[in-house]
Amino acid sequence: MTRKFKYYWEDFPVGSVREFGGITMTREDIVEFARRFDPQPFHVDEEAARHSPFGGLIASGWHTASVAMRMACDAFLLESASLGSPGIEQLNWVKPVRPGDTLRTRLTVLEARPSESKPHIGLLRTRWEILNQANECVMTLEGHSMFRRRH
């Protein structure tokens, strides 16, 4: 039996913009993620972080990227005919993310084309901008994704 999805490649036209999310980064979440995956002092130790170039505790960039992925899953990916991603072109951490920051994502479709070798698949190139509560960009990502085509 074929699963029906809400979103297919055709639902992501070039120039379309989706905004979603609203995840607040707590001190506890920042430290817990960093202890497991990126235990640099400015992510896990408030005293050391005060004496770092950042002047205080900041989230790992990998944590920020993971939160962005979670927001995308919650907003549309889990209801889509997504086939994953062959990779990203760029990832930039623009501004530190601090405890109390609330993040959201603005996703813009830059390119959309059908696969030449697999006509049932459509390819997208997108730009993700992760914004904080002050509408400041904290991370950008440009990459590719693959979706089943509706027909």
For the chain, the structural domain boundaries read 9-148
How confident is the model over 76-131, as pLDDT tens digits? Answer: 999 999 999 999 999 999 999 999 999 999 999 999 999 999 999 999 999 999 99
CA angle 100, 106, 108 (to 5 degrees): 160
Task: Write out pLDDT tens, residues 39-86.
Answer: 999 999 999 999 999 999 999 999 999 999 999 999 999 999 999 999
β-strands 121-131, 102-114: how paired? antiparallel
Task: Indicate the fold that domain 9-148 takes in CATH.
Answer: Thiol Ester Dehydrase; Chain A (3.10.129)
pLDDT at 86: 95
d(CA 116, CA 123): 10
pTM of the model: 0.94
Count of residues in the chain: 151
Largest Cα span, the chain: 58
